[in-house]
């Protein structure tokens, strides 16, 4: 492969939302895009390799060379497209917490995939299916990357044509509250080791009914969110690894608030039916939290990841 001259000096900016996956009963299937964002600026340069500047979350910790997850994601898309990768200069402004169940790794992957889409504009066309396929190849499953790519509420599944998704618009009353512990983290890989290989038939039926109800609650009937967020498939098995998360969820649910583990945890997502309920949930967290938690009153992101291409003259 030879470097395409159209890449020289091309610059793109990318914005990617945080996500919350599972949403209680929708294990490995449902995901929601949230109004917290990582922003990237990526420039194709003539020097080989990658140079990364990270600001905000992950500064001084995240890799700043070709091993950076965003860079690896860009490289993966270029390789699959059969286009030689140029040198890259990446500036990342991160606000999505790392290791807290808000989709930070999925956002990094989607950020790289979208940056590659922008850099390859006019060279290789990447449609929605291709974007989701490339992101899923890197992430391993589509439930976090789908809402980060497309926004809103997404249903994601694996089919004969690879990963597929359906995007739905969330009822305007739904008011997410995310409670993030200041100290503890949880990796998705670690959380998955706590899952049993099989579950009782009655629990499987229970979750099928609740996940179906959750779709209706989120798009049409928010008053059903408490019942719709009940789960028997994964949260109880992970509770011992996140005792503070479990205790706060139990406190919230006993008071009637639809609280669930956000992604793999340890953050908590409260899917309130209206802003007033969200304020009451936040007051309860403030009264009963045993350790420091940061509360975020968020909106549902409706755009998903965006990329803007800025052609420049000459080499950067």
Give binding residues for ATP as ranges.
97-107
Distance between CA atoms of residues 158 and 162, nearest Å: 5
CA dihedral 215, 150, 275, 57 (to 10 degrees): 130
* CA nearest to 260, candidates 99, 23, 79: 23
Half-sphere exposure of 14 (CA within 13 A, CB side): 31
Half-sphere exposure of 79 (CA within 13 A, CB side): 10
Q: Is 164 helix (H, G, I), strand (E, B) or coil?
A: strand
Binding residues, as ranges, are 97-107
Are the C-beta atoms of 212 and 168 separated by less than 8 Å? no
Task: Burial-class residue 121 by CB neighbours within 10 Å (0-12, 13-18, 19+).
Answer: middle
Tokens of 146: 């789908």
* CA nearest to 17, candidates 121, 177, 116, 145: 145
* CA nearest to 20, candidates 192, 143, 150, 167: 143
User: Of all residues in the chain, what percent are helix, strand and coil, respectively (each to 5)?
Assistant: 35, 25, 40
Are the C-beta atoms of 302 and 151 separated by less than 8 Å? yes
């Amino acid at each position: 492969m030879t470097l395409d001259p159209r890449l020289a000096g091309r610059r793109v900016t990318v914005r990617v939302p945080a996500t919350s996956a599972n949403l209680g009963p929708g294990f490995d299937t449902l995901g929601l895009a949230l109004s917290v964002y990582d922003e990237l600026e990526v420039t194709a340069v003539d020097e080989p390799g990658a140079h990364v500047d990270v600001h905000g979350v992950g500064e001084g910790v995240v890799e700043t060379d070709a091993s950076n997850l965003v860079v690896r994601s860009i490289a993966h898309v270029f390789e699959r497209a059969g286009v030689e990768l140029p040198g890259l200069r990446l500036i990342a402004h991160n606000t999505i917490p790392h290791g807290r169940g808000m989709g930070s790794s999925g956002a990094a992957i989607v950020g790289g995939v979208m940056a590659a889409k922008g850099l390859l504009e006019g060279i290789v066309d990447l449609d929605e299916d291709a974007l989701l396929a490339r992101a899923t190849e890197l992430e391993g499953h589509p439930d976090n990357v789908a809402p980060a790519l497309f926004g809103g509420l997404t249903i994601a599944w694996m089919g004969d044509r690879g990963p597929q998704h359906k995007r739905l618009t969330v009822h305007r009353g739904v008011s997410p509250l995310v409670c993030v512990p200041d100290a503890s983290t949880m990796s998705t890989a670690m959380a998955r080791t706590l899952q049993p290989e099989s579950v009782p038939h009655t629990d499987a039926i229970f979750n099928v009914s609740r996940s179906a109800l959750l779709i209706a609650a989120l798009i049409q009937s928010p008053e059903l969110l408490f019942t719709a967020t009940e789960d028997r498939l994964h949260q109880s098995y992970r509770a011992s690894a996140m005792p503070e998360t479990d205790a706060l969820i139990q406190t919230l649910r006993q008071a009637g608030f639809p609280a669930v583990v956000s992604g793999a945890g340890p953050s908590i997502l409260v899917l309130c039916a209206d802003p007033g309920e969200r304020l009451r949930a936040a007051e309860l967290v403030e009264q009963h939290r045993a350790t420091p938690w940061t509360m975020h009153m968020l909106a549902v992101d409706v755009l998903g990841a965006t990329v803007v291409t800025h052609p420049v003259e000459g080499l950067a």
